[in-house]
Structure 1
Amino acid sequence: MNTSRILIFTGGQLGGWALDIITNEDFLIGADSGALFLTQNGLRPNVSLGDFDSVSPEQLKAIREASHTTQDFDPIDKNYTDTELAFQVALAMQPKEIVMLGALGTRFDHSLANVHLLRTAYEHGVPMVIMDEHNTIRMTANELVLQRSMFPYVSLLPLTSVVRGITLEGFQYPLHEATLEIGQSLGISNAIVAAQGVVRIREGLLLVIESRD
């Protein structure tokens, strides 16, 4: 199956901004309380899954009734977070893109683990982006083109120990064949000054984070 776009709603920070991203063509996956968010906003998840330890029995009943398919997992006997379980379902469908919403929140361990899923998506040839109200996070191993948007800042952070051959076009602070190592803040808070910004790298994996305060 090749779905045009899969949206994963999970248990971090969600709000009305996330609803604005949905189109009629999107395939919706709700992970635990992310499924509750969808159903409480009048939407029918194509798949709802998780151990559902973040919802009440009454809320779980409502999720089951609203969802096309529900997959239950034991909260003890499972090896993955609910978010990664949803990610695995999405990845198996080989969509044109995965968008993860609610993947960032107060649990930094969960947030960081979700960001690391960008690498797994890349290794399977599926473009993926993580979004919340203040950030859009992508990963590149070669070239990424960004349009000027409501996010004034663009930051670059290595996901591998070293990223080499970083060249930026259309940015306030351009780079040419630069090197970034983990622990350096050189790539923080750049800005696109042209109609679009181009990020190119020669070696490594680079997180590209658009953000606003």
Structure 2
Amino acid sequence: MSESIVIVTGGALGRWALAHIGPDDVLVGADRGALFLLRNGRRPELALGDFDSVTAEEKEDVRRGSAMFVDCDPVMKDWTDTEMAFNWALERKPRRIVMLGALGSRFDHSLANVHLLRKGLERGIECSIVDGCNEVRLIDREATIVRAGYTYVSLLPLTIDVTGITLTGFRYPLVDATLSIGQSLGISNELAGETGHIRIRDGLLLVIQSKDETPFDGS
């Protein structure tokens, strides 16, 4: 599990995304995300989707510019383009999966993409969703949080309850606390230093690092 896979999909994208692509990352473009990669000098290992958000000419550019190309019927497919890309990445058993462009104006797609993190957690693969202002992860035991340019750390349960939450190195610590769906207690915490630690006893907890900026440059 040494491989790192970056999935670029068709949500909000800008030049900020390029900073999250390493030289050895395996690149997957889902729908318009594949076009974004090509226009920024990156060749997708795989481009897939129904390509309903690109023109016929752009689709042909993606076909020619990608190592592998999978064209899906937009009516008959059961999964979103992002989930198909994510499933492909899971089968390769990588060390980590990063999703770029997985958040955007379509809240239904954004929320569905956040839910994909559970599939990665169940496989023991480090997964995250990153945009210009946020990094989203899902944990079921513990995690070390690094500031990495973010201002806030918010905790939101993905199960009905998350119990035994203990925070160290945070401005607002918790000891053996419980967060339930519908509470905002975990919003906008901050690290006291450069790192902090989260430990939980039971449940699934979304860890969202964020900052107040306008990152989307339209490129």
Fold shared by both chains (TM-score > 0.5): yes
Contact 1:167 1:178 in 2 (8 A): yes
Give the superposition deviation at 1:124.
1.4
Contact 1:30 1:48 in 2 (8 A): yes
CA distance in 2 between counterparts of 1:154 and 1:20 reads 21
Scaled by the length of structure 1, the TM-score of the pair is 0.98
- Which residue number corresponds to residue 186 of structure 1? 185
Matches within 5 A, 1:42-57: 42-57=41-56
CA distance in 2 between counterparts of 1:39 and 1:176 reads 48
Which 4+ stretches in 1 moved above 2 angstroms?
A: none
Give the superposition deviation at 1:3.
5.1
Percent identical among aligned pairs is: 56
SS at match of 2:20: coil
Matches within 5 A, 1:95-174: 95-174=94-173
Give the superposition deviation at 1:24.
1.3
CA distance in 2 between counterparts of 1:32 and 1:57 reads 12
- Which residue number corresponds to residue 217 of structure 2? none
CA distance in 1 between counterparts of 2:46 and 2:163 reads 40
SS at match of 1:109: helix
Letter in 1 for 2:40: N
SS at match of 1:129: strand
- Which residue number corresponds to residue 40 of structure 1? 39
Letter in 1 for 2:32: S
- Count of matched residue pairs: 212
CA distance in 2 between counterparts of 1:148 and 1:133 reads 15
1:57-115: CA deviation from partner (whole Å, max 9, x where unpaired): 10011101110000111000010000000000000000000000000000000000000
SS at match of 1:20: helix
Structure 1, unpaired ranges of 5+: none
Give the superposition deviation at 1:127.
1.1
- Which residue number corresponds to residue 88 of structure 2? 89
Give the superposition deviation at 1:149.
2.1
Contact 1:3 1:27 in 2 (8 A): no
Q: CA RMSD in A?
A: 0.8
Letter in 2 for 1:195: E
CA distance in 2 between counterparts of 1:170 and 1:145 reads 10
- Which residue number corresponds to residue 59 of structure 1? 58
Structure 2, unpaired ranges of 5+: 213-219
